[in-house]
Amino acid sequence: MTLWSSIKPFWPLLFTFILPRALAYYRALKVAYRTRPPPRPLDSKTTRGLNALFGSICTFLYASWPNLRGDLSEHNVFVVTQSRLGVATDVLFERLALLREGRRLMPVDEALRAKLTSPALRQLYLRFGPSTLLGCQFCHPDDTLSYLLYHLPTHAVLPHLFHIFTLGLATSEPVAGYEASTWRQGTVLCALILAALDVFLTTTYAPIVPPTTTAPGGTFWVGSSLRYLCLVAFDVGVAGLIYAHATRRFWLFPVISSGNADPELSRRRTEETVTQATLALQVAGTNLRAYSIARNAVVRDPTLKGVDDDYWRTVVAVEGKGDESVWAEEEVQAAIARAYGSGGVDVEGVRREAEAFVRHATRALDGGATTGGR
């Protein structure tokens, strides 16, 4: 029986139910893609959150490439010298000396030379790296747990703590806005699961490398690179989700126009608008109080009061010239027209408003002048 004859009984099902629905879904997606809502620009808060993730990505990407750091003491000496794991210690470090400047070993190389004297220590070197092997003062070659306890906090736990801190900062509502904060719980939970998985693998995965292996890679160096690359991929995915949510760039259906907008998002945006308006009113009230204090200081000082009176008398003299007023100039009328957004300006109405304001401001001067004249 051929394949064609075996699927022939399913033709009615295919052409009656599956194919028409598939075509309908394709047309719906095509229409939705053409009529999708326009994307929104990123606000300043979401930009701050994405910048925090970008800094984390750059940090972990740099840490995943040990060759960029240039510290040869942190490299795998077996890989650098292309030697077998069971090579003699003197031969190994003679090869290493040929790669150093001046063909002389550094002090850290001498300290490592005193450590790589047994197969057990070399296995620990491949698993935990040179910093753990040299820095642990309470460790014993027969006690692998002591090396593990020294190794875990710095090399496994600390990067994940920094990663979780960055995620918390990038998804914090005061820092990154409401759209980013909606991903806070899920991303932090996934980051904790990733950290627990990393600690579990670091604790349990301990392969025994045969002594005849040439240039053994070592789980320490492989694990470090994979750890940081996984954190980079995780932060890139979170940044993409926050960007897509904040801009709605990849939304196909007009959720807001259909009345299915997130009520919590609408409430938060309304609160932000009210807060901004309240702050603007407070600033305006503060400016008005400052103007009132300055005005009272001017009125109470005779010298400043005289200067202010001379200014308003000059304004009254200019406004009293009729058609020769500044309002009759074409440049002034064009500027006022541009400010009002129309071509026609009621110059007489503007003049009346200005004269009313001047009369109100110089009411005290008129009273003083009348009193003085009497």
pLDDT tens-digit profile of 77-120?
888 888 898 889 889 889 988 888 888 888 888 888 888 888 88
Residues 283-336: pLDDT tens digits? 888 888 887 887 777 777 778 778 777 777 776 676 655 555 556 666 766 666
pLDDT > 90: what percent of the chain?
18
Q: Helix, strand, or coil here: 259?
A: coil
Q: In the chain, where are the structural domains located? A: 44-247, 265-373
Helix, strand, coil percentages, rounded to 5, for the chain: 75, 0, 20
For residue 257, the model assigns a pLDDT of: 41
State the pLDDT confidence band at 345, using cuts at 50, 70 and 90.
low
Among 201, 193, 207, CA closest to 224: 201
For residue 4, the model assigns a pLDDT of: 60
Can you tell me the distance from the alpha carbon of 143 to that of 149, in angstroms, rounded to the nearest whole number?
11
State the pLDDT confidence band at 236, using cuts at 50, 70 and 90.
very high
Judge residue 288's burial from the number of C-beta atoms within 10 Å of its C-beta, 0-12 exposed, 13-18 middle, 19 or more buried: exposed
pLDDT > 70: what percent of the chain?
73
For residue 261, the model assigns a pLDDT of: 52
For residue 255, the model assigns a pLDDT of: 47
Evaluate whether 85 touches 210 at the Cβ level (below 8 Å): yes
For residue 67, the model assigns a pLDDT of: 57
Indicate if the pLDDT at residue 343 is higher than 70: no
| Range in 39-48, 160-169, 262-271, 365-374 with the lowest mean pLDDT | 365-374
DSSP string, 9-61: GGHHHIIIIIHHHHHHHHHHHHHHHHTPPPPPPPPHHHHHHHHHHHHHHHHHH
Indicate if the pLDDT at residue 29 is higher than 80: no
Q: Which of 29-43, 199-213, 269-283 is modeled with the greatest confidence?
A: 199-213
For residue 333, the model assigns a pLDDT of: 65
pTM equals 0.63
For residue 258, the model assigns a pLDDT of: 39
Residues 211-231: pLDDT tens digits? 888 888 888 988 888 999 999
For residue 373, the model assigns a pLDDT of: 41
Give the dihedral of Cα atoms 28, 29, 31, 36; nearest 10 deg: 130
